[in-house]
Amino acid sequence: MEEQNVSSISSSPTGYSKGMVVFICMLISWVFVHRWNQRNMKGPKTWPLVGAAIEQLMNYNRMHDWLVEYLSELKTVTVPMPFTTYTYIADPVNVEHVLKTNFANYPKGEVYHSYMEVLLGDGIFNSDGELWRKQRKTASFEFASKNLRDFSTIVFREYALKLSYILSQTSAQNQQVDMQELLMRMTLDSICKVGFGVEIGSLAPELPENCFARAFDTANIIVTLRFIDPLWRIKKFLNVGSEAQLDESIKTIDGFTYSVIRKRKAEIQEARVHSKDVKLKHDILSRFIELSEDPDNNLTDKSLRDVVLNFVIAGRDTTATTLCWFIYMIMTHPHVAAKLYSELKAIEEDRTKEEKLCLLPYDPEDHTSFNERVTQFARFLTYDSLGKLSYLHAAITETLRLYPAVPQDPKGILKDDVLPDGTKLKAGGMVTYVPYSMGRMEYNWGPDAASFKPERWFKDGFFHNSSPFKFTAFQAGPRICLGKDSAYLQMKMTLAILCRFFEFRLVPNHPVKYRMMTILSMEHELKLTVTRRS
């Protein structure tokens, strides 16, 4: 009877309520003690279990600027998350330690690889060790080829002219244009021609629907969200929400990619049937297909798929994004546009004298004569003549300083380490150097760090490179970008034509802000109007 009374009391609503009150008090005390211990620590606010995830989620759409605010004061920021810890760095000394001095300790890592594998597989940007070295060696050989460089120059000129013809038509019809969409189409066509030897025609005058590009952008956004979404694996397992959308996007991406591989293989096989001594084209995919025919290389169609998609993100997204921000910069800095125009007019006059030619007469109001003159100017743009456009080169570089195509680049941590500034790093976490923040740090670039100023790149009248550990738009150390020269070549070719023959005006009240994904693209596109120049 006594035991029954005790049992009934402990299970009564009053007893249950007291237990809950005690539990809640303990929980509040735990949170209070945690926050009290954090009171003098600089950096994002952290909470038990979830770390800094709350503040990071609240600032997700402006994360790059959120990091600028912390890194401008701290240089190194530690952000605890539920399953790992991110350490963000902006000091060139720390960056050199991670990217070069202790390179072997900072691979892409399993965490990054697991997040990005669905899109990039085991490609060069998502692999480490021997697999990465083999791909880099092959790609390095191709990028060093004069044949590829000469072929690229022709292709980049061809597609820049196609873009100019579309803009000329747009100008004649006084239409608004989405410049980001056009540039993405141009660079996609270019990388498919240079990288894979195929013509896909997305920049055709009628601008056909581009399902691959749309799916690729969607997948890019979703895999980026995985870095702060602790539930993504659950959503993937259940195939719901963003992960279900990702799955559909990957099906579209793979359909396009495998069709490119099949087409290229068929072309190679057909050429061999007609000629025993056939030489492969100078595109990158052909070289990897050749390697895949050697059983020792273990290259499957899946491996080739990864090669294609890694070079798409390198050759399409990064270049188009930089071109977008460049055009935005010259629209908001008309004195820079004027200097570029003068430099381009000068090279036009010099090449005309060198080749003893007469410039074709044209009327900006006449579509046919205008396009003929643009075509004539484009012929002057060779690899060597583009190399003489130092102010254009500086303006592109300045754009990359403030708007790097890859705004953050995370690395895994294999073993415990200490950065040069004394920050301790734990194995299993991630360290991220932040090019977007680095370009805005006064301790890196001086009090005018936030200003767009191409002149900062000149010393005694000549363009002067900065340390790659300070200007990190192309990474540095063993993983420094192999396609840097190719990217500059395409950007110079395109911008030389656009800045010589067109003026751009932003559509009134059009919002310009970045979109959170691995590449710094514009969230609301880039809507503008175009006017032909004389």
Contact 185, 210 (CB under 8 A): yes
Degrees to nearest 5, angle at CA 282 with 281 and 285: 85
Going by C-alpha positions, the residue among 205, 195, 209 that lies closest to residue 155 is: 195
Report the alpha-carbon distance of residue 167 to residue 171 in Å, rounded: 6
DSSP string for residues in 182-245: HHHHHHHHHHHHHHHS----TTSTT----HHHHHHHHHHHHHHHTTT-TTHHHHHHHT-HHHHH
Structure tokens that stand for 310 in this block: 């890694």
- The CA dihedral of 95, 98, 102, 104, to the nearest 10 degrees, is -150
DSSP H or E segment with residue 11: none
Report the alpha-carbon distance of residue 533 to residue 70 in Å, rounded: 44
Report the alpha-carbon distance of residue 43 to residue 77 in Å, rounded: 6
Structure tokens that stand for 468 in this block: 């790659």
CB-facing half-sphere around the CA of 335: CA atoms within 13 A: 4
Report the alpha-carbon distance of residue 227 to residue 219 in Å, rounded: 14
CB neighbours (10 Å) of residue 191? 27
Q: Is 481 annotated as a binding residue?
A: yes
Contact 494, 156 (CB under 8 A): yes
Residue numbers in the known binding site for heme are 481
Residue numbers in the known binding site are 481
